[in-house]
């Protein structure tokens, strides 16, 4: 199966991507006066579609702003059957295993994917379908919340491609599957 699946996500030192109420205020504890995007727009230049779960989709949709993505977003959901009309041509529902979902997305011509959201990333890791991980660590130990990682059937080796510090406080590691 051709194509690459990449993750770009922020986490706490102890590996949470949101607090126990789903909150992400703690992501902004480090002052960022010039709005440094910590490599996100550079990362997205090489992405042609996003894949996310229903929960992440609804979180993004509830942000107090217009729909933020210019590229197609594929939402994995077994429960959603239709989408708001204003997102027609922008958001597409897909169902099935990560393999089936990838086949559907590749068949539509999208091969360089950003995989987003805890559950979706975990599913793709379980089937060893994540090629690159860009992990941005906020210097806080949250103590509980929504974890980035979950149990895997076998361990996965990565190469460290790059390690960088943003805003003197936030370290980012870029890993590529061995």
User: Which positions lie near a copy of itself, rule CB under 8 A?
Assistant: 12-15, 19, 26, 29, 125, 133, 135, 137, 139-144, 148-149, 151-160, 163, 165, 168-171, 173, 175
Nearer to a copy of itself, 59 or 173 (CB): 173
Element (H, E) at 134: strand 132-138
> What's the min distance (Å) between Cβ of 169 and a copy of itself?
5
Nearer to a copy of itself, 71 or 135 (CB): 135
> What's the min distance (Å) between Cβ of 129 and a copy of itself?
13
CB of 156 closer than 8 Å to CB of 125: yes
- Coil, strand, or helix at residue 93? strand
> What's the min distance (Å) between Cβ of 173 and a copy of itself?
5
CA distance 72 to 64: 20
For 104, half-sphere exposure in the C-beta direction (CA atoms, 13 angstrom radius) is 15
> What's the min distance (Å) between Cβ of 82 and a copy of itself?
36
Nearer to a copy of itself, 29 or 103 (CB): 29
Nearer to a copy of itself, 84 or 152 (CB): 152
First and final C-alpha spacing in the chain: 16
Nearer to a copy of itself, 96 or 143 (CB): 143
CA distance 7 to 175: 10
> What's the min distance (Å) between Cβ of 157 and a copy of itself?
5
Looking only at the bridges linking them, the beta strands covering 73-76 and 91-94 are: parallel
CA distance 139 to 27: 9
């Amino acid at each position: 199966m051709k194509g690459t699946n990449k993750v770009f996500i922020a986490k706490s030192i102890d590996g949470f991507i949101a607090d126990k109420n789903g909150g992400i205020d703690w992501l902004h504890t480090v002052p960022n006066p010039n709005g440094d995007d910590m490599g996100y727009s550079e990362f997205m230049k090489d992405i042609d579609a996003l894949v996310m779960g229903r929960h992440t989709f609804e979180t993004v949709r509830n942000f107090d702003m217009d729909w933020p993505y210019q590229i197609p977003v594929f939402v994995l959901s077994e429960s959603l059957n239709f989408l708001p009309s204003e997102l027609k041509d922008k958001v597409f529902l897909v169902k099935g295993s990560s393999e089936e979902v990838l086949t559907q997305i590749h068949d539509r011509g999208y091969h360089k994917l950003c995989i987003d959201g805890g559950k979706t990333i975990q599913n793709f890791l379980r089937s060893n379908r994540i090629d690159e991980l860009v992990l941005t660590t906020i210097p806080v130990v949250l103590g509980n919340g929504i974890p980035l990682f979950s149990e895997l059937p076998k361990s996965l080796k990565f190469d460290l491609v790059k390690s960088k510090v943003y805003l003197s406080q936030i370290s980012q590691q870029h890993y590529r599957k061995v």
